[in-house]
């Protein structure tokens, strides 16, 4: 299928989970902010660089802006998706006003070229780190991304801006709505208001909230649009999909509001569902982070990450194909995963998705493909 979105063959979207280019990753890029942290166990972001180097070897510093994306750049070039969508889980700011929350992610605006190196079209900002450096930090994040031509969803300078979708292209338009849930650690005080910057916040995942959310989306949707609901929800670890998440995703699809649910927050990939010919990614896992060398939760293999390439029918939004390319993180850089790692991911997806009647096949080149069981 033509990733460039030829109307006869489908519109391909690249989707990934959390892109955490702050903290340690920011420190190895050319223009880092001050490395000071306020964590009880780490006082300098350089400590995360040292942990990664102890685990996998030295990292050349400074690296160029494309370094962290590694082998993923060649895959993106080869597949040429129409649009590239990521959950950017960091503030992009020089703010020195940390939220009193213990873990505060920020990336220097001077390193924003790192995001441009991957040619991201849309950064979803509705998450539990975008306000780590206060509302001034959020405003600077929005301004920095917009000046680089990167659309944003899920956060804004006021409630209207936070609720507005990113509108990508035309014929068809792709609308990306960003939302976050308190189940992922987002405080209610971060919700945007008429006179306050913030995020698009879902107080709960109840049927009433699903109905209000669907009404809001349908008010923006035109005939022929493809709509993505990108939702930061759930805990960091574990494969279980809460019943309320599944009901919420189903409701958005049942009410004709959404064609694809792009879930994230978990540090590892979770199950996938094909529901009424629409794709639900319950948890995409991290894509870039500075967690190398940190012990704990090894059974989830969080060093393995996935690039999702979803091809949708342009006139209906139905899923035509989902290809998943596995990578592993080494020295803050993505490397194509080997066959054994791809097989491990395949088995994980089989177990995590079995309850949804979906299955995954592994190809000869270690590519994973979603099939209907």
Contact (CB, 8 A) for 282 and 229:
no
The overall average pLDDT reported for the chain is: 96
| pLDDT at res. 6 | 43
The pLDDT confidence band at residue 5, using thresholds 50, 70 and 90, is very low
- Report how far residue 196's alpha carbon sits from residue 212's, in angstroms, rounded to the nearest whole number: 21
| pLDDT at res. 298 | 96
Residue written as token pair 């079209």: 121
Contact (CB, 8 A) for 253 and 275:
yes
Q: Give tens-digit pLDDT for 142-173.
A: 999 999 999 999 999 999 999 999 999 999 99
DSSP notation for 97-119: ---SSS---EE-GGGTHHHHHTT
For 4, other C-beta atoms within 10 Å of its C-beta total 13
Picking from 243, 247, 288, the residue whose alpha carbon sits closest to that of residue 264 is 288
The domain segmentation of the chain, as residue ranges, is 11-372
The pLDDT confidence band at residue 9, using thresholds 50, 70 and 90, is confident
- Report how far residue 184's alpha carbon sits from residue 234's, in angstroms, rounded to the nearest whole number: 5
- Asked if pLDDT for residue 1 goes beyond 70, the answer is no
Output DSSP code: residue 17: E
Contact (CB, 8 A) for 282 and 363:
no
CATH class of 11-372: alpha beta
Picking from 304, 302, 326, 288, the residue whose alpha carbon sits closest to that of residue 114 is 288
- Report how far residue 365's alpha carbon sits from residue 267's, in angstroms, rounded to the nearest whole number: 25
The pLDDT confidence band at residue 372, using thresholds 50, 70 and 90, is low
Picking from 210, 269, 275, the residue whose alpha carbon sits closest to that of residue 234 is 269
- Three-state DSSP at 280 gives strand
State both tokens at 125: 């900002």
- Report how far residue 368's alpha carbon sits from residue 353's, in angstroms, rounded to the nearest whole number: 13
The pLDDT confidence band at residue 7, using thresholds 50, 70 and 90, is very low
Q: Give tens-digit pLDDT for 67-103.
A: 999 999 999 999 999 999 999 999 999 999 999 999 9
Write down the pTM of the prediction: 0.97
| pLDDT at res. 365 | 86
Q: What is the mean pLDDT of residues 252-265?
A: 98
Q: What percent of the chain has pLDDT over 90?
A: 95
C-alpha pair distances (Å), 277 with each of 196, 265, 316, 322: 38, 24, 10, 12
Residue 363 or 226, more confident:
226
Q: Give tens-digit pLDDT for 321-355.
A: 999 999 999 999 999 999 999 999 999 999 999 99
- Report how far residue 15's alpha carbon sits from residue 283's, in angstroms, rounded to the nearest whole number: 11
Q: What is the mean pLDDT of residues 243-272?
A: 98
Q: Cα angle at 115 between 10 and 319, to 5 degrees?
A: 20
Based on DSSP, count helices (H) and strands (E) in the chain, helices before strands: 9, 20
């Amino acid at each position: 299928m033509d990733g460039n979105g030829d109307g006869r063959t489908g519109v391909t979207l690249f989707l990934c989970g959390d892109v955490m280019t702050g903290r340690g990753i920011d420190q190895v890029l050319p223009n880092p902010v001050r490395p000071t942290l306020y964590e009880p166990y780490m006082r300098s972001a350089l400590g995360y660089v040292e942990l990664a180097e102890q685990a996998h070897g030295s990292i050349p510093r400074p690296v160029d802006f494309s370094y962290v994306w590694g082998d993923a750049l060649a895959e993106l070039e080869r597949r040429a998706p129409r649009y590239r969508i990521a959950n950017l889980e960091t503030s992009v700011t020089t703010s020195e006003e940390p939220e009193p929350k213990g873990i505060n992610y920020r990336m220097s605006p001077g390193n924003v070229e790192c995001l441009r190196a991957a040619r991201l079209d849309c950064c979803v900002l509705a998450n539990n780190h975008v306000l780590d450096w206060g509302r001034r930090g959020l405003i600077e994040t929005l301004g920095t991304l917009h000046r680089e031509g990167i659309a944003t969803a899920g956060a804004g300078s006021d409630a209207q801006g936070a609720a507005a979708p990113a509108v990508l292209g035309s014929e068809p338009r792709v609308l990306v709505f960003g939302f976050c849930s308190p189940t992922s650690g987002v405080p209610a005080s971060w919700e945007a208001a008429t006179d306050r910057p913030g995020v698009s916040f879902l107080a709960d995942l109840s049927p009433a909230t699903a109905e209000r959310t669907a009404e809001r989306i349908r008010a923006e949707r035109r005939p022929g649009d493809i709509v993505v609901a990108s939702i930061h929800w759930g805990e960091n670890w574990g494969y279980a999909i809460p019943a309320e998440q599944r009901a919420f995703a189903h409701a958005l699809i049942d009410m004709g509001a959404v064609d694809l649910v792009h879930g994230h927050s978990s540090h590892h990939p979770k199950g996938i569902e094909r529901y009424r010919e629409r794709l639900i990614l319950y948890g995409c896992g991290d894509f870039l982070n500075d967690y190398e060398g940190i012990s704990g939760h090894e059974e989830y293999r969080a060093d393995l990450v996935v690039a999702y390439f979803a091809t949708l029918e342009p006139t209906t939004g139905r899923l035509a194909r989902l290809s998943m390319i596995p990578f592993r993180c080494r020295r803050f850089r993505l490397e194509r995963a080997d066959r054994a790692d791809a097989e491990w991911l395949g088995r994980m997806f089989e177990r995590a998705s079995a309850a949804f009647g979906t299955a995954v096949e592994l190809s000869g080149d270690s590519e994973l493909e979603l099939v209907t069981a």
